[in-house]
Structure 1
Amino acid sequence: RVAIEIALHKHRIDAQLRRSEQRFATTLKAIGEAVISTDARGVVDFMNGAAAALAGVAAGEAIGKPVASFLKLVDPASRQPLAVDQAWNGEAVLVDGTGREVPIVGSLANISTDRTEAAGQVMVLRDITEHRRMVELRERQRIEEIIAEVSEAERRRFGQDLHDGLGQMLTGVAFLCKTLEQKLAGKSQQESDEAKTISKLLGEAIETAREIARGLLPVPAQADGLVQALKSLADQITSQFQIECEFLDASSVRISDPGTANHLFRIAQEAVNNAVKHASPQRIDICLQAADATGCLTIKDNGRGISSAASGQGSGLDIMRHRAAAIGGSLRVSADPGGGTVMTCFFPFNHD
């Protein structure tokens, strides 16, 4: 009877062990990390699907072979091979049988038993190509944002210097010229006329300097500065191109952050200019509104429209998308069912 109980107990333990091994093997096959195990001789006895894909070899072909026969690990800095039979942890470059290189992070550990010698090893690897790509993308975006901010700051400084320096100087010269014109009025008709001409030219130069300064500093530094700038943009388009352009401030949106306001204005300016140049519209609407925590800038025209292929192309669109991303927003360009093009920029908005 004792022998029977021992046999039944052993059978139950063996069954539990088999179930545990099955669960463990199923788990290893399902996880995203590449897992390779070897026996005491260094021969592969298990390889999951992620490992086969990473190493570029079928699991059936790798079983029974040394790991070094189908892949090698290289130190990313020294480019020296790493031993695949010694404990290791960190980053490396995996080189498969075809010479393809994949940046990975992983570890290699010994399988310990009650005996002193290792019963095998387990290697766990993870492909960090996408992670590296995202890190590089974020770093590139950060650098681009810094460049854009520095460029915009320099633009503002130059515009302010132009307004306060050259503009004021020209105004002073124009005042002196007006005074001279009045003094010459009763003496010489020819000299008086020449003084009037000089005064007129100075007036035109002052207006040109102001226009340049406004172009460099389009958004006044105040809460409703963006609204004023968009109204001026609409008036300028109407006056310059005889196109009906209207600004619709649907919800009295006020943007207090000057960086956000400037990016939104440049997006609207680029969209309006694109419409004027390429769509031949009769009307352009600029709308700024907000609901909850999302703001929305929309530029809509009734021109010839834009094809679905062209809606994602062009350096102007890339710049607008970059500006939208810089303020945590997104840009969408689509054809209006009624004809024309609709460009919409969604951005985070704080009502405070």
Structure 2
Amino acid sequence: SLKNSLDRLAATPDLDAFLGYVLTEIAQQFDGKTASLHLFNPDSQTLHLHQWVAQGRIYSRQEFHQFGPLAEPIVVTGSTAWAVLQQHKFPLVISLDNAHQYMFPGTEDWQLDWAEREELQSGINILLSSGETPLGMLCMFSASRSTFTSEELEIAQALSHQATLAIQLTQLAAEAQQSAVLGERNRLARDIHDTLAQSLGGIILHLQAADSIYTTDLQDKQTHVTQARQLASQALTEARRSVQALRPQLLEQTTLDQAFDSLLQQLTRNSSLHITYELHGSPYRLPPEVEAHLLRISREAITNSLRHAQATELVVDFTYEPRQVQLRIQDNGQGFDRDRPTFGYGLITMQERAQQIAAHLHLSSQFGQGTIVQVTLPIATATAGTLDD
């Protein structure tokens, strides 16, 4: 039985189905008529019916109502059975002689009537726990057995450990799912910031330039309006693509170094900012997710220089080395005091994106001395590929 249980655990992806199998296996092993699994809620100190098996049949939750008070939350406070299980951590044998003593408060009348109808002779209650933390209780009742050997109780305990493992795996899966949901929410927040917030910032800059009292050239005004329109169109496209978790549009048809060049031209066209872009080393391909994060980190840094730094010069260095890739963005703007930071969501997204790809992000800035954003990405041999791949 124990080997069959372990084999089923390895082969069954549905952990609830596996728990049903364990209950069935225990019932069959000990000539049990019914078996049930109750999960423990530490906040309310209650047990909740999770599964019920009778004569090889697994009952659905819609059928639990027929089990009376056992289908409702069972308060364990003041329960002798629960106290004994917690103290000894060994299967508790229920007989006709001690049944009333070990029944949970509020369930006695229903259980006595049910035991009489089903002609039950004995039962086993087994605590499911992880260390000192109770997870639940497994129960089995037999109509043909009145006693169990110590060896049989050891087997029941071993089988219950498989149920404990399945419960822990289920909880871990739920936690992982929640973590994935939070991760996806943060990804969407970053992408919305990278697309809408940054593009809207660029649109505002161009419209302000077009509306400036110093701009009297109609062609110049029209150029700024056209750039704002293009940014708006790009923002809409990027927002749609972000929701679909696709790569940035600039990376669809070009390499990363070419995408950097295009990004600089798009963000700084018709601005007074003097741009220097230098590429060092021989470019090679990086995983799509890595390239997307690097491009969006650079977009954020450049946008910050345009909107907040009041810089006149911006230098972007992108370096390919055999064991690392380094992106360095430096402006000569007003900078800020790192001892009294007022970091916005932009810096948080840059840090999160760097962490996502196991890169190191270093920010250096002082009042009146500009800002440097540097991203260093270690490269594993198997990670990079040639541009011909």
Whether these two folds match at TM > 0.5 is no
Normalising by structure 2, we get a TM-score of 0.40
Pair member with larger Rg? 1
Question: Larger relative contact order (C-alpha < 8 A, sep ≥ 6)?
Answer: 2
